[in-house]
Structure 1
Amino acid sequence: MPSIYAVKPAFQNLLRPLVTKLARLGVTANQVTIAALILSSTTGLLQMFADAHAAVFLSLPLVLFLRMALNAIDGMLAREHGMKSPLGAILNELGDVISDTVLYLPFALLPGVYGWLVVLLVITAILSEMTGVIALQIGASRRYDGPMGKSDRAFVFGAAGLALGFDIKPDTWLNGVIALMLALTLFTIINRARQALKEIA
């Protein structure tokens, strides 16, 4: 299934000169992973304060883009500059799940938004990432199949944050978007499991 993840190789090519400079400066992959987690956690906490929500939500697309860039950078440092480690693998997977949780759960606090729907989406997003990791346990590759993977969620939530930042009130439209994302995430879980089984067959 199509996913924004498909553009990752081109995005990595743009980042490669920066990654090389960071490696020469002694920056490690794990440091970048932790930086992405701190950025996400700080933004998520700020989103919880109603007084600052307009400005914070307006910055959400930039934060999500920076997080995506940092995620690509830590992977390239690990693979291309000899920084792979068991700790790095743990930090990478846990960091993604924690970042998704702290960035998206605050949407449940918005007036007019069905909080339970956001919570269900966050839970299924975690399950979709677990499904991708479980593929490794059965001898397949880490699955990143769509249609609602990490990059796709970031794009949709970034667009929603932009709308909220411009004072478009969260209403039926946002509940509809979240419900659609939930359905696509459930399909993503099935698709990743199916593709993993197909790969080992």
Structure 2
Amino acid sequence: MASIYDIKPAFQNLLRPLTRALAGAGVTANQVTVAAAALSAAVGACIWLWPAARWPLLLLPGFLFVRMALNAIDGMLAREHNMKSRLGAVLNEIGDVLADTALYLPLAGVAGFSPWLVVVITILAIVSEMTGVVAVQIGASRRYDGPMGKSDRAFVFGLLTLLLGLGVPPGDWLLWAQVLVGALLVVTIMRRARRALAEAG
């Protein structure tokens, strides 16, 4: 099953001139990683503090795109501008998990979202990323397989919050969307584990 992650190379090509400019200005990969996590926490806090307001929901889709760009940029800075480090690897993985949690968990307080489903989805998202990391420990490559990877989650939640922010009434469609995200996360975890074992074996 395809994932939005598959278009990452084309997205990186669009961002490469900006990445070169940032490198020339002395911006480091770790600074970008930390900035993405901090901004995620700020946007999540807006949703948590104003759960009945539309503007935080409208803020989320645009920010998710910005976050995807920042995630691509920090990787290119590390790989293409000699900024790889052990600290960077740690910050990248932990920062992604913290950012996801900060952005999606506050949706539990937004009308139309099921609090327990949001919690389950957040936990499954963490497990899916950890499954990708564990692949390295058994001798495989870091797994980014879909169908509900980080970029896919950003697209789905960006779309859901955009619709709510534009005034579309929440209903059964939103509940079933959350159920589908949870189910696809389970598939993602299983696929990453299976492919990691196959690659290592």
User: How high is the TM-score relative to the length of structure 2?
Assistant: 0.97
The RMSD of aligned alpha carbons is 1.1
Structure 2 CA distance for aligned equivalents of residues 146 and 55 of structure 1: 30
Show structure 1 runs of 4+ deviating over 4 A: none
Shift of residue 171 of structure 1? 2.5
2:50–2:56 contact (8 Å) kept in structure 1: no
Give the match for residue 172 of structure 1: 172
- Asked if 1:47 is matched to 2:84, the reply is no
Structure 2 CA distance for aligned equivalents of residues 171 and 68 of structure 1: 29
Secondary structure of the 2:83 match is: coil
Structure 2 CA distance for aligned equivalents of residues 175 and 96 of structure 1: 25
2:32–2:74 contact (8 Å) kept in structure 1: yes
Deviations 1:7-59 (A, max 9, x none): 00000011111111111110000000011011110000000123773011112
The alignment covers a number of residue pairs equal to: 201
Give the match for residue 21 of structure 1: 21
Counterpart of 2:118, as a letter, is: V
Deviations 1:123-144 (A, max 9, x none): 0000000000000000000000
Shift of residue 175 of structure 1? 1.3
Counterpart of 1:96, as a letter, is: D
Give the percent of matched residue pairs that are identical in Structure 1 and Structure 2.
62
1:121-132 equivalences in 2 (<5 Å): 121-132=121-132
Deviations 1:72-107 (A, max 9, x none): 000000001010111111110011101110111111
Give the match for residue 73 of structure 1: 73
Counterpart of 1:133, as a letter, is: V
Structure 1: tracts of 5 or more residues without a match: none
User: How high is the TM-score relative to the length of structure 1?
Assistant: 0.97
